[in-house]
Structure 1
Amino acid sequence: MNHRLRLAMLALVSVLSLLLTSFATSPVHAEQRPGGKGRDKVDYGTTSFVSGASAYSVTGKVRARTKRKVHLQVRWADGWHTIDKARTKRKGKFTITGTMDWYGAHKVRVVAPRTRRDRAKVFKATKFKVAVPWTPRGSTSAYERMSYKGVNFAWNPCRTIKYRINPGHAGEAVIPFTQQAVELIERATGFRTKYVGTTTAVPLDDKNYQRGTDMVIAWSSETDHPALVQAVGRGGPGTLKPARRRSNNKVVLEIRRPGVTMNMAYAAEYPFTFDDPATEPMGLVLIHELGHAFGLEHYADDIQVMHPGDRSPAPSGYHSRFEAGDLAGLRVQGAQPGCLKPYRQRRGYSALDLSDIPDFTRE
């Protein structure tokens, strides 16, 4: 056999070998085609909610063994963040149930992370729309943020806010009342909070909270703390530390020890409720002070919770609920802009000098 014929025969054998390999492996690929019998799928169920009144139930199927992790994620400015988890059961089926009370429209998706045996599966995203259960009054521009030397304050939404309550002059019954107010902040910002117990600390005097505590809400009196005189309450962001946004590298002052101190000398004038037909209730003052704790300044519009003086009631009376400007401000101060990262000095930009920073505690 001459040299040219030998080369031709070798080429023919190679082609036949490739064809046989293709036929042998084709059934495996056919099982993975979109639309096949074992197709991965997700059903987001109801995607429109009223905050505090309904829950999500996401179901689906992922081709894999049982107990594979499945995550429900929400989109922030710096990327996707997991808000809930589940594991697959028989035939790869899964169900993720929970509540999402954060006001607004939020892009969400389901992801099955990569494992040693399975490739990652990312399902098509959808939107969860969470309605405010009242009609907010006023303009969405009616708010102002706290800042120092032109740098805004911000809590890091990648940290759960671990808070304690000092019931002090109010007694133990004030604990669930305070927790309800913190829940309203959660719904307006998207922050995660966790109540970790009582304390004797008072934010007006002590920013060195006990270990594992980020925020303190104290019920004290002007008889103990003269700074409370003529103030129903005082709130502020506490200590501040330079940081940057992960999403855009923008410099912010990270809120590190937010706190609120309420004055029980006014307990007779302000009903311990969240709604009252004739008088501003204590709940309204409390959420005002919590607004300060997370970086909102006073605003002149007397409809807004962050107004510094007497507020105009709604037709049905006074309600401890954020209005349009308050909600817009808390959203800007909330989780949507994304997480913070440590401050790193860049060439030509000096670190912020916080040695002369004023007290940002407000009435």
Structure 2
Amino acid sequence: MTLTVIATTMATGLSTAAAEPPSARPAKSKVQVAWVSSVVATTPTAITGVVKDKGKNRRRVVLQQRFPDGWTKVARSKTGRDGTFSLALPTHWLYSAKTRVVVAGTRKNRAVRTKPQRVSVVPSWTPQGSPDSWAYISPKLRARFNPCKPIDYRINIAQAAPWAASTIDTAVAAIALGTGLRFRYRGTTSAVPWATKGTPKQTRSTDLLIAFAPQSQTKEDITGKQGRGGAAKMVWGRDRRGRLALIKRAGVVIDTVKPLDAAQATRVVIHEIGHAVGLGHTGDVSQQMNGTAEGYYSPLQLGAGDLTGLAKVGRQAGCVRPLRR
């Protein structure tokens, strides 16, 4: 675990717009916080501090982080009688964000918030390659899911090897770590993305479908390839940067005819889910989004370019809302 404690922050109460008699004004509060600047992903970490005010009232305390769509509450708690508090810092995904503590006001004490501090959650490995080695699957569309809503996914592994379920679990976890997207497993299905006639189709209730299937069951060309991934339905949406393609449904199909072992299949599924959430190919073979066969034998870790791209299509890029027709 890498924890860097930086200078303690002190903040005083927020100013009020209207002047009030001294006896009627809530008292000022002070809050001191011991910040961390960097923490390794998945390491349980707490932001601790103390609220100093008159009386021994328990105060509501909130941890907020700033993304392009504004300040978002990520944790909440209450102070003890001695004014101390502890707030769980999210470490389940990789990000760098301004973070602050907000203490709610009471009848006797003013609200208070700290100055924002930069907090980063970093990988436990050293990402290889250049951070610039990434691309959108369609640069003009900037296609991506809305990271502020969970993605319901189902799997079809009836025709796959026994290790298929674990490879999907590993791949989904890797993409979630890089994006901050929330994936919700909804069970198995017999459906196949871009299904051919007679094969069950992906339904509206499945945002992401991951299937191991032969060429005969999908309209996408997977012959001679390990698999295919991408959006199945998109609508126009908007984020803080402007208009983009909002992915509503996406699919991944892995060829059951192509001989792959568990490690190779995991890389393929990571790669294809990368396409499904909006990433294109890169020529850097150290990246999981490399499009050549050589890339499937690279170390099973997200590269520096992969992480940049996943951040661009994930929570750190802000929420996406559909455009009204």
- Decide whether the 8 Å contact of 2:192 with 2:218 is kept in 1: no
**Residue number among 230, 238, 255 corresponding to 1:236 in the alignment:** 230
Give 1:131-146 correspondences, 5 Å limit: 131-146=122-137
Specify the alignment match of 1:179 in structure 2: 169
Q: Report Cα offsets for 1:199-237 as digits up to 9, x if no partner.
A: 3322232664253x3212122233544743222211102
- Decide whether the 8 Å contact of 2:28 with 2:110 is kept in 1: no
- Deviation of the 1:173 alpha carbon: 5.0
Specify the alignment match of 1:95 in structure 2: 86
Q: Are 1:48 and 2:38 matched, yes or no? A: yes
Counting aligned pairs with the same residue, the percent is: 33
Specify the alignment match of 2:73 in structure 1: 82
Greater shift, 152-161 or 170-179, is seen at: 170-179
Specify the alignment match of 1:304 in structure 2: 287
- Decide whether the 8 Å contact of 2:137 with 2:143 is kept in 1: yes
- Decide whether the 8 Å contact of 1:162 with 1:214 is kept in 2: yes
- Decide whether the 8 Å contact of 2:74 with 2:90 is kept in 1: no
Specify the alignment match of 1:350 in structure 2: none
Specify the alignment match of 2:272 in structure 1: 289
Q: Residues of 2 paired with 1:192 and 1:306: CA distance?
A: 21
1:42–1:215 Cα change, 3 Å: same
- Structure 1 unaligned spans of 5+: 1-20, 274-280, 346-363
Q: Does the residue aligned with 1:228 lie in a helix, a strand or coil?
A: coil
Superposed CA RMSD in Å reads 3.1
Q: Does the residue aligned with 2:257 lie in a helix, a strand or coil?
A: helix
Specify the alignment match of 1:325 in structure 2: 305
Q: Does the residue aligned with 2:315 lie in a helix, a strand or coil?
A: coil
Q: Residues of 2 paired with 1:259 and 1:114: CA distance?
A: 48
Q: Residues of 2 paired with 1:216 and 1:82: CA distance?
A: 30
- Decide whether the 8 Å contact of 1:207 with 1:257 is kept in 2: no
Q: Residues of 1 paired with 2:112 and 2:201: CA distance?
A: 45
Q: Are 1:196 and 2:198 matched, yes or no? A: no
With normalisation by structure 2, the TM-score equals 0.79
Specify the alignment match of 2:212 in structure 1: 219
Greater shift, 139-148 or 222-231, is seen at: 222-231
1:174–1:193 Cα change, 3 Å: same
- Deviation of the 1:294 alpha carbon: 0.9
Q: Are 1:258 and 2:258 matched, yes or no? A: no
Q: Report Cα offsets for 1:103-134 as digits up to 9, x if no partner.
A: 34322122235678875432222222222222
- Deviation of the 1:153 alpha carbon: 0.8
The structure 1 segments of at least 4 consecutive aligned residues displaced by more than 6 Å after TM superposition are: 115-118
Partner AA of 1:231 in structure 2:
K
Q: Does the residue aligned with 1:336 lie in a helix, a strand or coil?
A: helix
Q: Residues of 2 paired with 1:141 and 1:88: CA distance?
A: 44
- Structure 2 unaligned spans of 5+: 1-19
Partner AA of 2:280 in structure 1:
E
| Count of aligned pairs between the two proteins | 298
Partner AA of 2:117 in structure 1:
T
Q: Report Cα offsets for 1:45-75 as digits up to 9, x if no partner.
A: x4322223x2211223446744x54332221
1:117–1:306 Cα change, 3 Å: same
- Deviation of the 1:181 alpha carbon: 1.1
1:55–1:203 Cα change, 3 Å: same
- Decide whether the 8 Å contact of 1:220 with 1:262 is kept in 2: yes
Q: Does the residue aligned with 1:102 lie in a helix, a strand or coil?
A: coil
- Decide whether the 8 Å contact of 1:244 with 1:252 is kept in 2: yes
Q: Residues of 2 paired with 1:83 and 1:215: CA distance?
A: 26
Q: Residues of 1 paired with 2:229 and 2:245: CA distance?
A: 17
- Decide whether the 8 Å contact of 1:47 with 1:56 is kept in 2: no
With normalisation by structure 1, the TM-score equals 0.71
1:208–1:166 Cα change, 3 Å: closer
Q: Residues of 1 paired with 2:102 and 2:213: CA distance?
A: 47
- Decide whether the 8 Å contact of 1:69 with 1:113 is kept in 2: yes
1:342–1:47 Cα change, 3 Å: same
